[in-house]
Structure 1
Amino acid sequence: MKKHLAFWWLALILVTGCTLATPAEKITIRVALLPILDGLPIVVAQQEGLFKKYNVQVELIPVGSAPERDQLIAAGQADAMINELTSVMFLNKETPQVQAVRFARTATTDQALFRILAAKGAGIQGVSDLKGIAVGVSQATVIEYLTQRLLEQQGFQAGEIQMVSVPKIPDRMALLASGELKAAMLPEPFSTLAEQQGAIPILDDTVAPEYSFSLISFRKAVIDQHPQVVKGFLAAVEEATQRINADPQKYSTLMVDQKMVPAPLAESFRVPTYPLKGVPTADQFADALAWAQSKGYLKVDLVYSDCVNPNLLP
Structure 2
Amino acid sequence: MKKTLVFLFVLALMLSLLGCTPQATPTSQPATLKVVALPILDTMPILVAQQQGLFSKYNLTVEFIPAGSAPERDQLVAAGQADGMLNEVLSALYFNKESARVQVVRYARAATKDAALFTLVANPNSGVKSVADLKGKSVGISEGTIIQYVTERLLMAEGVDPKEVKLTSVPKIDARLALVKSGELDAAVLPEPLASVAVKEGSIAIISDAAYPQYSFSTWTFRKEVLKNNPDAVKRFLLALEDAVALINADPAKAEWKQLLVDNKILPAPLAENFVVPPFVTAGVPTEEQFMDTLTWAKEKGFLQADQAYQDVITASFLPQK
TM-score (norm 2): 0.86
Amino acid at match of 1:53: K
Of 11, 32, 50 in structure 2, the residue corresponding to residue 46 of structure 1 is 50
Question: How far, CA to CA, are the matches of 1:61 and 1:147 in structure 2?
Answer: 27
Question: How far, CA to CA, are the matches of 2:241 and 2:73 in structure 1?
Answer: 20
Give 1:56 shift: 2.4
Of 91, 98, 107 in structure 2, the residue corresponding to residue 94 of structure 1 is 98
Partner SS for 2:293: helix
Judge conservation of contact 1:115–1:201 (CA < 8 Å) in 2.
yes
Question: How far, CA to CA, are the matches of 2:307 and 2:153 in structure 1?
Answer: 21
Partner of 1:259 in structure 2?
265
Superposition map of 1:99-248 within 5 A: 99-248=103-252
Question: How far, CA to CA, are the matches of 1:107 and 1:69 in structure 2?
Answer: 22
Partner of 1:8 in structure 2?
none
Which is further off, 300-309 or 151-160?
A: 151-160
Judge conservation of contact 2:253–2:275 (CA < 8 Å) in 1.
no
TM-score (norm 1): 0.88
Give 1:59 shift: 2.0
Partner SS for 1:172: helix
1:292 aligns with 2:292: no
Partner SS for 2:317: coil
Partner of 1:271 in structure 2?
277
Give 1:33 shift: 3.3
Amino acid at match of 1:294: E
Judge conservation of contact 1:148–1:161 (CA < 8 Å) in 2.
no
Question: How far, CA to CA, are the matches of 1:171 and 1:52 in structure 2?
Answer: 36
Amino acid at match of 2:198: A
**What runs of 5+ residues in structure 1 fail to find an aligned partner?**
1-22
* Cα distance per residue 1:61-103 (max 9 Å; x no partner): 3333322221221121211110111111111111111111111
Question: How far, CA to CA, are the matches of 1:203 and 1:234 in structure 2?
Answer: 32
* Cα distance per residue 1:163-200 (max 9 Å; x no partner): 11122222222221222211211111111111111111
Partner of 1:80 in structure 2?
84
Which is further off, 289-298 or 261-270?
A: 261-270
Greater C-alpha radius of gyration:
1
Which is further off, 106-115 or 120-129?
A: 120-129
Question: How far, CA to CA, are the matches of 2:130 and 2:36 in structure 1?
Answer: 38
Question: How far, CA to CA, are the matches of 1:79 and 1:299 in structure 2?
Answer: 27
Judge conservation of contact 1:132–1:159 (CA < 8 Å) in 2.
no
Please provide the CA RMSD for this pair: 1.7
**What runs of 5+ residues in structure 2 fail to find an aligned partner?**
1-26
- CA 1:121–1:42: 2 relative to 1, 3 Å: same
Give 1:24 shift: 5.1
Which is further off, 258-267 or 301-310?
A: 258-267
Aligned residues: 292
Question: How far, CA to CA, are the matches of 2:161 and 2:299 in structure 1?
Answer: 18
- CA 1:42–1:151: 2 relative to 1, 3 Å: same
Question: How far, CA to CA, are the matches of 2:28 and 2:232 in structure 1?
Answer: 10
Moved over 4 A (4+): none
Percent identity over the alignment is 52
